[in-house]
Amino acid sequence: MTRTFALPVLLGLLIGTGSVARAASSNLLDPDAVLKSSLPAGTHIVMLGTGTPVPDASRAGASVAIVHNGQAYLFDVGAGSIQRAIEADSRLGIDELDPLRIGHVFLTHLHNDHTLDYAEWAGTLWWRRSNPLKSWGPEGLAAMTDGMYAMMGEDVRIRTSGSQPVLSPDAYRVGVTEIRPGKVFADNGIEVHAFPVPHGEVKPAYGYKIITSDRSIVISGDTAFSEELIRQSAGVDVLVHEVISDVGMRKLSEFWQNYHSSSHTTTRRLAEVARRARPKLLVLNHVLFYGETPDAVLSEIKTEYDGKVVLASDLDVF
Ligand SMILES: [Zn+2]
Ligand SMILES: [Zn+2]
């Protein structure tokens, strides 16, 4: 499997010449322009936000984009995810991540480190949008969306009652689907399946399995150790999984150790998940470090799992 490559590094070198950066940014915020993408054909994973609720200068809130056949599909939209998408378009030339081209958002659960940019994705330049957002997620998504409309009420009233040109007065509204386990989406050669995961008191919380003609990908969302996730992930090309450092967690109070054990997957348990599921690539994401370094967390996994594993940073492409 040679699909994994350090694209940001390669593109960073190219951008250094200046010409790629200018060419790549020319289409930003112009969804009617001919799509120009720096990505080769096939399905790609762009890590928009690898963070957690713990503020981190180098990590946006949780968000993973799957780019396939001219479209990008978002899985979670944590704070800062839209800024990372703009960077991916303007600096890396991934035109599919132009915010105005995005039409599909899937939410794993409604913890705010996974949702805070929802209004950004629906609201950015909404008066220039011709393709309103659609969203899929757990029960509660419709109520959350209504709350967003309330937040945007004055903006919508002002922009639609004055002289400002507005392409479609309803373009800020989102087509919401509250999902149940099973196939939740199929179009444009991509299938999205939702499955329940255990995440403490968050019920329901979902993981997603994405299938295209060239790749199978599982995104864990936030989850404790899950037999269902192991079943869904058996032999997939890429498993993007959350994790908490075992060493870091042991420094916490008993309350927080218990809380995290029922809500998240420790490095030791994730190694077991990976040994049993055998993904071709394991991507560590949404890492709760608790003072441990990325290298240390990676070695916690590697001492107990001999497969291919990386720890994701924002804007990594797999
Ligand atoms: Zn989270
Ligand atoms: Zn969560």
pLDDT number for residue 234: 98
Cα 313 to ligand 1 centroid, rounded to whole Å: 16
Cα 139 to ligand 1 centroid, rounded to whole Å: 17
Percent helix, strand and coil across the chain, each rounded to 5? Answer: 35, 25, 40
Cα 286 to ligand 2 centroid, rounded to whole Å: 10
pLDDT number for residue 21: 41
Which residues make Cβ contacts (< 8 Å) with residue 276, sequence separation at least 6? 230, 234
C-alpha–C-alpha distance, residues 275 and 264, integer Å: 18
Cα 181 to ligand 1 centroid, rounded to whole Å: 20
The phi and psi torsions of 273 (rounded to 5 degrees) equal -55, -50
What string of DSSP letters covers 278-317?
--SEEEEEEEE-TT--HHHHHHHHHTT--S-EEE--TT-B
Tens digit of each residue's pLDDT (9 = 90 or more) over 138-174:
999 999 999 999 999 999 999 999 999 999 999 999 9
Cα 111 to ligand 1 centroid, rounded to whole Å: 6
Tens digit of each residue's pLDDT (9 = 90 or more) over 117-135:
999 999 999 999 988 999 9
Cα 263 to ligand 1 centroid, rounded to whole Å: 10
Q: What is the DSSP letter of 62?
A: S
Cα 238 to ligand 1 centroid, rounded to whole Å: 20
pLDDT number for residue 30: 79
Residues of the chain with pLDDT below 70 are 1-26
First to last CA, the chain: 11
Tens digit of each residue's pLDDT (9 = 90 or more) over 85-110:
999 999 999 999 999 999 999 999 99
pTM for the whole thing?
A: 0.91
Cα 109 to ligand 2 centroid, rounded to whole Å: 7
pLDDT number for residue 160: 96
